[in-house]
Amino acid sequence: MGTLYVATVLGLIAAGGVFAAVWSLVPAPPTNADIVEGRLRIYETGKGASLSEMELQQPFGQRVVRPLIRRLGRLLEQTMPEKARQAVNLKLQLAGRPNGMSSGDFFAVRYVLTGLLCLVGIGLGILTQRSVLIAVGAAVGAAAGLYLPMIWLRRRISRRKADMRADLPDVIDVLVVCVEAGLTFDAALEKVVEKYDHALAEEFGQVLQESRLGRPRLEALYEMGQRTGVEELNTFIQAIIQSEQLGSGIVRLLRVQSDEIRQKRLLIAQERGAKASLKMLLPMIGCIFPTLWIILLGPAALLAFKAFRAG
């Protein structure tokens, strides 16, 4: 009975996978933008490649897997509560939108991975021919599929925040040099975007793009400080906004902010160094000290034991 139930579940999952694969291969109708772009390409370089040829030139992941994930994500996003979508969207924003992933794409990847790992767990349990291990394998695979993407997203957020904190003093130094050379603050930001290729430069580049589209610069900077989630960067941006509103000198402000951030980073490094000695204490007690006791006290213990036996 258990084998029949497992076979039925696997058959349903396989049927769903075949349906999703066939559905993803159905080409979407061309939009007006695609038609106009094709006509312009013909006038410029002659008859270009058709849409089907361009799609076949793309790799398999971009051509089949990604559209399937996006379609499945749109379906799952409609069934998710609004709070869950907002929470995932905020985390993806803090992570820098890896691979342009939306909340629906994340839900799709999460549940597809859950199904795949659940099938792997069931398959390993079937190999052992024990029903208990089949249930345990399915549960472990499903739990891993649900929680591994969340762990990956948290690590991505932490790494991005740490990179921004590490790059902020150098970026402020470049801003100071550019402003002292006579450039405006916007021109200094452009120099930062041109010079660096990291997450902080991308955020400043987004601020410049929003300013060019007509959004007030201070509002774009404030939004940047809120969406990054880095306390030091938010403090720096608030100081810039206050300086712009009060009309005070920005060069001195940038120097003060750079010194404060470097001092804070030094204090954090000293704090981590002090904690490291405490964290090393337990491994030393458990691993190093017993070895030293055996080396130092072992010969004396053997001599004492021989003297006791002889007496």
CA angle (17, 97, 195) in 5-degree steps: 140
Structural domains of the chain, count: 2
- The Cβ-side half-sphere exposure at 47, using a 13 Å CA radius, reads 2
Rounded-to-integer distance, Cα 20 and Cα 10, Å: 15
pLDDT at 17: 54
Long-range Cβ contacts of 204-210 (<8 Å, 24+ apart) = 204/171
Distances (CA, A) of 244 to 214, 232, 280: 18, 19, 48
Question: Which residues, given as ranges, of the chain have pLDDT below 70?
Answer: 1-66, 311
Q: Is residue 42 part of a domain?
A: yes
pLDDT at 137: 83
Take residue 132 and report the two structure tokens written for it.
């208990």
Take residue 270 and report the two structure tokens written for it.
């000293």
Q: Is residue 82 part of a domain?
A: no
Q: Which domain holds residue 223?
A: 162-265
Q: Is residue 301 part of a domain?
A: no
Q: Is residue 135 part of a domain?
A: no
pLDDT at 105: 82
Q: Is residue 123 part of a domain?
A: no
CATH number of the domain bearing residue 167: 1.20.81
Rounded-to-integer distance, Cα 310 and Cα 162, Å: 66
pLDDT at 155: 92
**E strand or H helix at 284:** none
pLDDT at 47: 47
Q: Is residue 294 part of a domain?
A: no
Last residue of a domain, one of 227, 248, 265: 265
Owner of token pair 């790494």: 159
Rounded-to-integer distance, Cα 117 and Cα 296, Å: 51
Q: Is residue 215 part of a domain?
A: yes
Q: Is residue 76 part of a domain?
A: no
pLDDT at 308: 76
